[in-house]
A = this chain, B = another copy of it.
Amino acid sequence: MSVNIDLFIRKLCARSHLSREEENALRGMRWGLRRFERHQVMVRPGQELTESMLLTAGFALRCKFTPEGTRQITEINIPGDFIDLHGFILKRLDHEITAASRCEIATVPHSELMRVTEEFTRLNRILWFQTLIDAAIHREWMLVLGKKRSRSRVAQLFCEMQARMAIIGLPSKEGYPLPFNQQDLADITGMTPVHLNRCLKELRDADLVTFRNGRVEFLDLNGLSREAQFVPEYLHPGPHEI
Contacts and interface: CB of A to CB of B under 8 A. Distances in A.
A146 B157 CA distance: 14
A117 interface: yes
Contacts of A236: 90, 94
Interface residues of A, number: 51
A211 to B, nearest CB: 19
Nearest to A126: B89
A165 to B, nearest CB: 20
A242 B89 contact: yes
Nearest to A234: B94
Interface of A: 46, 62, 64-68, 70-72, 74-75, 86, 89-91, 94-95, 117-118, 121, 124-125, 128-129, 131-132, 134-136, 138-143, 145-148, 187, 189-190, 229, 231, 233-234, 236, 240-242
In the A-B complex, the 6 residue pairs with the smallest Cβ-Cβ separation, listed nearest first, are: A146-B190, A138-B138, A135-B135, A145-B145, A72-B143, A74-B139
